[in-house]
Amino acid sequence: MKKTVSVIGLGNRGTEYMGFLKAFHSSRVEIYALCDIRQQALDDIAPRFSVPEERRFLSAEDFFSRGVLSDALIIATQDRSHCEITKRAIQTGYKLILLEKPVSAVKEEYEGLRDLARERGALLIVCHVLRYSNYYRRIKEIIAGGEIGDLVSINHTENVGYFHFAHSFVRGNWRNESGSAPSLLAKCCHDLDLIAWFADSPCVSVSSVGSLRYFCKENAPAGAAPFCMGGCAAKNTCPYDAERLYIKDPFYKAKFIKYMKRTLTGKAKNRKSDIENALKTGDYGRCVFGCDNDVCDHQFVTMTFENGVTAVLSMNAFSEKMFRECHIVGTKGELIGRGTKLTLHVFGGKTGRIGTFSPNIGGHVEGDIRLIAGFVKILCGEAADLTDITTIDATVVSHDIALAAEESRKNGGAPVFLAAGRG
């Protein structure tokens, strides 16, 4: 008999995970019930997965009032609702839950969830998807295998991409701390998770600097209008012109905006006129210098781990492309990574490209696919070794570091010390 999975939150992430379940695991997993506060989402998505009317819910309350409906649950709603919904899920009796990150920007909340999951014997997996890609697993293997000697330091950069940053962190869902989280937590808890995983030791101190440098009204060009398509005098020269990003530019149409169109209009299928109408008055058509955004557009974090390893994470909005880079040095060698290309130099010894079997299929799609494969294994009772699964315990580590970094940044970069064994 097939195992059953229900999904709360039918946006980009929820439907992507459902797509992978259907494409790769439909012989043993069935999507059972769906919940979203948007009727349109239920109407668009449920038929594709053959979920009947009686198993579609317009509120989490309704969904949970029916008790435990399936063997596992995916929660992919927006950031601020994660904790409350997950708490309800555990209290209702779900024992296997896949939760999107960030879990919460409030320490008591994410620690409370960890404790509740332990108490009720629920396995709460958080989608720190980067850890699941072969590329990062290979890096971990090389470090752990001692090929670069003792690990000394990690220098990791998240280049968000100027258009991606504008879409998500200036105009979109993650623009405002009160509505989501600081950009470091929202965008880089994955990166902090990787760094702590590589360092393999508790983080003992954190300091950070950064700010919202550019996307604010002081930087608006002369003649800027509230909406790009509303008579902006700088439209032809502004790289953030919404019409250019969402309608005209073929690169973004192909690679990024195709995926994001649903976000603009709330519809699964869009005509050009739907996009145009959304841009004329909606969030994504706004001038990037006149939004209600307050999250940092660049930030540095330095970390020291108990075993002496040091690390730097740099997050910035200002790159042409979206990609991550890392330079990991040990006493006997170094690893240099860019995108999914990895080079190993052993001092005085071998040097060259390392095969990672990580296909370059865009963003972290490979990690997403492997995360779902791991989730299905656990669901089907096959995964004996849970050491590399990113449970809420790993989340506490990355989130502690992110909150400490924010505390430091707001205090001019003064170090914040984490109790040994935490963070």
Site track 45-84 with ligand NAD (rule: CB under 6 A), x = hit:
---------------x---------------xxxx-x---
Token pair in block for residue 65: 């009032």
Single-letter code of the amino acid located at 160: V
Single-letter code of the amino acid located at 79: D
Which residue, 130 or 245, is less far from ligand NAD as judged by CB? 130
| Shortest CB 225 distance to ligand NAD, Å | 27
| Shortest CB 100 distance to ligand NAD, Å | 3
**What sign results for the dihedral spanned by CA atoms 100, 106, 109, 112?**
positive
| Shortest CB 84 distance to ligand NAD, Å | 8
Which residue, 81 or 319, is less far from ligand NAD as judged by CB? 81
From 7-15, 139-147, 316-324, 341-349, span contacting ligand NAD (CB under 6 A) = 7-15
Angle formed at CA 127 by CA 408 and CA 375, multiple of 5 degrees: 155
Residue nearest to ligand NAD (CB): 11
| Shortest CB 348 distance to ligand NAD, Å | 39
CB-based contacts of 170, cutoff 8 Å, min separation 6: 215, 240, 288, 291, 293, 297
What spatial distance separates the first Cα and last Cα of the chain, rounded to whole Å? 41
Q: Evaluate whether 372 touches 20 at the Cβ level (below 8 Å).
A: yes
Which residue, 235 or 286, is less far from ligand NAD as judged by CB? 286
Q: In what order do the strands lie in the sheet with 3-8?
A: 56-57, 29-35, 3-8, 72-75, 96-99, 123-126
Angle formed at CA 204 by CA 202 and CA 209, multiple of 5 degrees: 120
| Shortest CB 65 distance to ligand NAD, Å | 13
Which residue, 10 or 113, is less far from ligand NAD as judged by CB? 10
Among 18, 51, 124, 127, binds ligand NAD (CB under 6 A): 127
Which residue, 132 or 289, is less far from ligand NAD as judged by CB? 132
Nearest to 188 by CA among 311, 77, 8, 18: 311
Residue 392 binds ligand NAD, judged by CB under 6 A: no
Token pair in block for residue 226: 């509230």
Among 18, 30, 32, 36, binds ligand NAD (CB under 6 A): 36
Token pair in block for residue 255: 């690679």
Which residue, 79 or 243, is less far from ligand NAD as judged by CB? 79
Among 42, 83, 129, 315, binds ligand NAD (CB under 6 A): 129
**Beta-carbon neighbour count of residue 108 at 10 Å?**
9
Among 5, 6, 11, 188, binds ligand NAD (CB under 6 A): 11
Verify cis geometry, omega within 30 degrees of 0, for the bond prior to 182. Answer: no
Footprint on this chain of ligand NAD (rule: CB under 6 A): 8-14, 35-38, 41, 60, 76-79, 81, 100-101, 127, 129, 173, 186, 263, 364
